Structure 1
Amino acid sequence: MNRIRVLVFGATGSGKTSLCNVLTGRTRPTDSDARGVTSRSHSYAPFEAQGQRIELIDTVGLHESTEGTVPADKAILELVELLEKARDGFSLLIHVTRATRITKEHEDDYAFFVKKMTQGRIPVILAVAGCENEHPMGAWVERNRSAFASYRYRELIPCCFASGGPLESHYVPLREQSREALIASVVRNALLEPEKIYGGETGSSFTDALARIWNEFVEIAGLPEKYRKNVNESAYELMKRMGVPKTLRDAAVAHIPDLLQELGNKLPVPFLGRILKFVAGKALGAGK
């Protein structure tokens, strides 16, 4: 049985978690149900469909730091954790958007995940949520197909993830139709084997991958300028500029992530201990 690893990304509130719930048949609530926001990336337990073993990785929205739902330090931690989950590579990307106009957030997400993070090496499909009021459900996609011509989407899939309320009987068959269409598209477009973005024979390390996307993430997430990595600046120097004590920087270079977390937790910076644990564990302090 083939393993298909799928990275799901999209703007805040676009329906990423709802898509994952529909595909897996399980219900994982967002961290803020009122706003439909997921503030942590999440790997779902694999499920089987069409003879394939499919694993979904749901990502936090890149703009959630600017919208106040994710603190800056936690947003950085999310980026590092996301790269950690990318260790085994991905077979397919699913970009989730809503049936509205193309926004800057949509463009930013596509540029970050498709062009920067995975460097165009992994196929991507577009899932368009909010199509339940169209007749037929694919009408919006057909009317706006030309607007997506410049993107490298293999397919555009109209979807309904809505549930509950007086229209639930209307939503049920549309959700099932969406699930069938998405699974068929996943199986049709996924790579035969997950493509790694670092490690193995890629010639790229975790450090290389993080350096490639770091500044773009800082800009998209609206993080303070101090988080931006300067040209030719090592991670050790970046930590120094951010005010991380020398003992912690040296510990990072020495690859002692547990010690870093213990010491970092004593500093008045949210999540610094956990951030430095990841940083040290992946040799981000190289270049002392």
Structure 2
Amino acid sequence: MLPGGDEAAVNGDAKGVTFRHERYVKDIGGCLLNIFDTVGLNEGAAGTVSAPKAIEGLYRLMRGLDNGVSLLVYVVRGPRLKNSARKNYEMFYEIFCEKKVPIVLVITGLENEDDMDGWWKRNEAAFCEEGMRFSGTACITATKGKRDSFEEEFEDSRVKVEKLILNHCTEMPWLPPAGKGASWFGRFVVKNRNVLAKIFHLKVQVFATSIYQALRSCGIDDAQARELANKIYLGWVFSRDTTT
């Protein structure tokens, strides 16, 4: 919906196909903004993207943004709220961004509502009960429909989304902290400590708690989450070090 730059691919299949993040430059209100389409986090066992792969992709994105993060735009499809909504909110906002980045909500699929904005009035309490709070919301349709039957609603929705982004982008982007194993020496100490931990049947220490917490929130058991978290983190560090 957003104008300017390359157009993002749209997928209408039942299974999501977004594996890695994509960057798009968009002109919104005269401001050139970097918009990132992130990996999917709802695929489950039957989908094309596993939870660990999705979490790895998200972590690499967050760590690869030299200029930080200014806004999270959480897009959900209405009119019904899915059970995964709270998990995704926790993943992005609470775990990876540590509640330090403003988050706004965009609800799509409301083209058949007589009053799209009325949807939020009726459903805001359900989000609050799940502990999900947002700096702003936009109830929209993201399609013009067959024969452009929703063209007017689509254009109104475009304006809503643009205003939502411009009004809530923070002027001081947030940068994620370095983490325990950021330095070479720190990684060396933790890695060797974990070798001893396995020998003496102790808990493996994790390099990046955000990855560990994200994996645990997806139902992965403690020991496996610790192993996967370190594997994902060290893979990212290796790719970063070889690039630089």
CA pair 204-99 structure 1, distance change in 2 beyond 3 A = farther
Counterparts of 1:234 and 1:144, CA distance in 2: 36
**CA distances 1:248-280 after superposition (whole Å, capped 9, x unpaired):** xxxxxxxxxxxxxxxxxxxxxxxx9xx865242
Whether the 8 Å contact between 2:40 and 2:49 is mirrored in structure 1 is no
Question: Do residues 28 (structure 1) and 8 (structure 2) align?
Answer: yes
Which residue pairs with 2:135 in the alignment?
Answer: 154
Q: CA deviation at 1:73?
A: 6.3
Q: What letter matches 2:21 in structure 1? A: H
Residue aligning to 2:117 = 138
Question: Kindly tell me: are residues 220 and 170 of structure 1, through their superposed partners in 2, closer, same or farther at Cα, counting changes over 3 Å?
Answer: farther
Q: 1:214 aligns with which of 200, 211, 216?
A: 211
- Structure 2 unmatched ranges of 5 or more: 188-205
- TM-superposed CA distance for 1:195, in Å, is 1.4
* Structure 1: runs of 5 or more not aligned: 1-21, 240-271, 284-288
| Alignment match of 2:61 (pick from 61, 70, 82) | 82
Q: 1:24 Cα shift?
A: 3.6
Cα separation, partners in 2 of 1:188 and 1:229, compared to 1, 3 Å: same
- Cα distance in 1, alignment partners of residues 23 and 54 from structure 2: 20
Structure 2: how far apart are the matches of 1:90 and 1:234? Answer: 22
8 Å Cα contact 1:129/1:158 also seen in 2: yes
Distance 1:129 1:90, change over 3 A: same
User: Structure 1 residues 138 and 84 mapped into 2: Cα distance closer, same or farther (>3 Å)?
Assistant: same
Q: Which residue of 2 aligns with 1:251?
A: none
| TM-score, normalisation: structure 1 | 0.63
TM superposition score normalised by structure 2: 0.73
State the SS of the aligned residue for 1:125. Answer: strand
| Cα distance, 1:65 vs structure 2 | 4.3
Off by >6 Å, runs of 4+ in structure 1: none
1:35, distance to aligned residue in structure 2 (A): 2.1
Of structures 1 and 2, the one scoring higher in RCO (CA 8 A, sep 6+) is 1
* Shift of residue 130, structure 1, vs aligned partner: 0.8
Check whether the contact 1:39–1:61 (CA below 8 A) recurs between aligned residues: yes
Asked if residue 56 in structure 1 is aligned to residue 35 in structure 2, the reply is yes
Shift of 1:211: 1.5
Q: Which amino acid aligns with 1:62?
A: L
Alpha-carbon displacement from aligned partner over 1:49-93 (angstroms, at most 9, x marks no partner): 213221111112213243331246644542442233344211111
- Following superposition, the deviation at residue 159 of structure 1 comes to 1.0
1:273-284, aligned counterparts within 5 Å?
277-282=235-240
Q: Following the alignment from structure 2 to structure 1, what is the Cα–Cα distance between the partners of residues 161 and 95?
A: 25
RMSD, aligned α-carbons: 3.4
Task: Provide closer, same or farther for how the CA distance between residues 234 and 27 of structure 1 changes in structure 2, counting only shifts above 3 A.
Answer: closer
* Structure 2 contact 69–174 (Cα < 8 Å) conserved: yes
How many Å apart are 1:221 and its aligned residue? 4.6
* 1:99 counterpart (67, 71, 78): 78
Structure 1 residue 173 and structure 2 residue 120: aligned?
no
Letter in 2 for 1:213: S
3-state SS in 2 of match to 1:153: coil
Q: CA deviation at 1:29?
A: 2.4
CA distance in 2, matches of 1:50, 1:177: 15
The corresponding residue for 1:259 is none
Q: Distance in 2 between matches of 1:106 and 1:155?
A: 16
| CA distance in structure 1 between the partners assigned to 2:97 and 2:52 by the alignment | 23
Does the 8 Å CA contact 1:65/1:223 hold for their aligned counterparts? Answer: no
Distance (Å, rounded) in 2 between the aligned partners of 1:212 and 1:276: 13
Question: Which residue in the other structure is 1:248 paired with?
Answer: none
